[in-house]
Each structure stands twice: as C-alpha cells, then as structure tokens.
C-alpha cells in the first residue's frame, strides 16, 4: 500500500456488537492488513454503533470532517457492508472525500466512473437543450455570435459565488472544534492560532499554510 494519511470508519449495527467488539475487530484487522507494508499514517479511527437504516450519522460526519481537514482518505473494511447503505453513499458523495475499501480497492475508481457516466449524460442533455434553444432563437431572427466578448450573467456569477461561500462555510465549520480546542489551551492571538493549525498539519481550504488573516476570515464566518 502506498504512503498516505487515512481515517478509518468502522460501523456496527447494534449496541451489543459495539460493546463486545464483535465485528469491530474483524473490520479493524481488515483495514490494518490492507494498509500494512506502506508508509501510511492512520490518523484516527472512528467507531459508530448505528443501524444502517438511520440517515443521521455523527460518527460518519466526524470521519468526513477529519478527512477534509487533513486531506486524508477515508478507509473502510468492507464495501459490501456499506454498498446498500444509502446514507453512507449520499454523505460520501456530498462530502467530496476520497475513500477506499479494503475488500474492494477498485471500487473507488468504479464509483468515480459511475459518477462520471452520470455527469457525461447530464452534459449531453445540457448540450442538447442548448442547441435546441439556439436553433429556436435563430428561427426567431436572433443574431448569434461566436461567443466573443460574452459576459457572465448575473445569475451565473451569483451561483458561483454561492458555491464558493458554501465551501468556505463548510471548511470553517470543520475547523470549529480545533479552533475551540486551541483557544481553550490559551492560544488567543490570530498568529498563534495559525501556528497551531499549521503545527497540526491542517491545511487551508486551498491546501496552503495558515496566516493570521486567513484565521480572521474563518472566525468571521463562524461568528456570522
């Protein structure tokens, strides 16, 4: 296994299994065996005792948050345990986190491939609708240019801004527990918080090093 940073997510369905470790040890061993032999770092292991029928998964949410913060990969023991778990798959897709399954490593590419096929189909549909709209406009006598000098519409610009703001807000929310921990330890200055985040290996939303100004922006988002 190649080097990298990982967050393990283990789940059992009943409190009895969680208390006894039944099922957990097998999952833990599968993850360890899969990663064994590489220059990897298992940053944390998240164990959740929850039915697959429940959509609210605090353990999964925390695992995904840690993956985003550290730029880590989520590793699970058995894909077949989660392949019919709609809550897991929907959360994983929305989180934008890399994942890999110990029992089926190629599934990562498979999932991405399926999503790519869907995206390609959507692009074809959009293209078809665009061509139809252009043809209708031309039939009405509207002059169609080659796109030179085209400006982004206010609606498109607003949508793009909203997407960026949503990502920034999510990143700030992911950082909130760590920021609270640093402050509780006596670190109050923006520069000190930035140094603490850098020392923990937590990158900014763009993958860079923290500065006092960037910390200030995150705190402003959290306070808003």
Interval 84-138: pLDDT, tens:
565 666 677 777 788 888 887 877 645 644 644 554 566 577 777 888 888 887 7
Q: Which residues of 25-38 are buried (b: 16+ CB within 10 A; e: fewer)?
A: eebbebbeebbeee
pLDDT of residue 193 exceeding 60: yes
The pTM assigned to this predicted structure is 0.58
Q: Tokens standing for 97?
A: 């986190």
Residue written as tokens 């997510």? 9
Q: What is the SS3 assignment for 11?
A: strand
Judge contact between 101 and 109, C-beta under 8 A: no
Tell me the domain boundaries of the chain.
4-109, 160-223
Q: Which of 44-58, 63-77, 78-92 is predicted most confidently?
A: 63-77
More confident residue, 141 or 2: 141
What's the pLDDT tens digit per position in 26-42?
Answer: 899 999 888 886 678 88
Class of 4-109 in CATH: alpha beta
For 91, how many CA atoms within 13 A lie in the half-sphere containing its CB? 21
Based on the number of CB atoms within 10 Å of its own CB, is 78 exposed (0-12), middle (13-18) or buried (19 or more)?
A: middle
Q: Is the dihedral of CA 17, 19, 70, 77 positive or negative?
A: negative
The verdict on whether 153 is a catalytic residue reads no
For 122, list phi and psi in degrees, rounded to 5: -65, -40
**pLDDT band at residue 12 using 50, 70 and 90 as cut-offs:** confident
What's the pLDDT tens digit per position in 130-175?
Answer: 888 888 877 777 766 555 444 567 777 777 788 788 888 888 888 8
- Report how far residue 207's alpha carbon sits from residue 212's, in angstroms, rounded to the nearest whole number: 16
For residue 93, give the nearest of 70, 129, 118, 69 by alpha carbon: 118
pLDDT of residue 1 exceeding 60: no
**How confident is the model at residue 108, as a pLDDT?**
63
- Given 13, 51, 55, 189, the catalytic residue: 13
Based on the number of CB atoms within 10 Å of its own CB, is 123 exposed (0-12), middle (13-18) or buried (19 or more)?
A: exposed
For residue 97, give the nearest of 57, 65, 120 by alpha carbon: 65
DSSP string, 57-85: -HHHHHHHHHHHHHT-EEEES-HHHHTT-
Q: Which of 4-8, 20-24, 204-208 is predicted most confidently?
A: 4-8
Judge contact between 120 and 126, C-beta under 8 A: no
């Amino acid at each position: 296994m190649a080097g990298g940073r990982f967050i393990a997510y283990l789940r059992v369905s009943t409190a009895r299994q969680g208390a006894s470790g039944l099922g957990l040890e097998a999952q833990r061993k599968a993850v360890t065996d899969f990663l064994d032999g590489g220059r990897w770092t298992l940053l944390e292991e998240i164990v959740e005792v929850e039915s697959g029928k429940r959509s609210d998964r605090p353990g999964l949410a925390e695992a995904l948050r840690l993956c985003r913060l550290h730029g880590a990969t989520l590793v699970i023991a058995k894909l077949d345990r989660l392949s019919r778990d709609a809550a897991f798959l929907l959360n994983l897709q929305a989180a934008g986190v890399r994942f890999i399954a110990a029992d089926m490593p190629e599934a990562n590419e498979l999932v991405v491939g399926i999503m790519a096929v869907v995206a390609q189909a959507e692009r074809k549909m959009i293209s078809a609708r665009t061509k139809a709209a252009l043809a209708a406009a031309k039939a009405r006598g509207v002059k169609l240019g080659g796109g030179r000098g085209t400006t982004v519409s206010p609606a498109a610009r607003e949508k793009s801004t909203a997407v960026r703001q949503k990502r920034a807000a999510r990143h700030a929310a992911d950082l909130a527990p760590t920021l609270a921990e640093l402050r509780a330890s006596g670190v109050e200055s923006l520069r000190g918080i930035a140094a603490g985040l850098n020392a923990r290996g937590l990158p900014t939303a763009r993958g860079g090093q923290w500065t006092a100004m960037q910390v200030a922006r995150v705190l402003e988002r959290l306070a808003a």
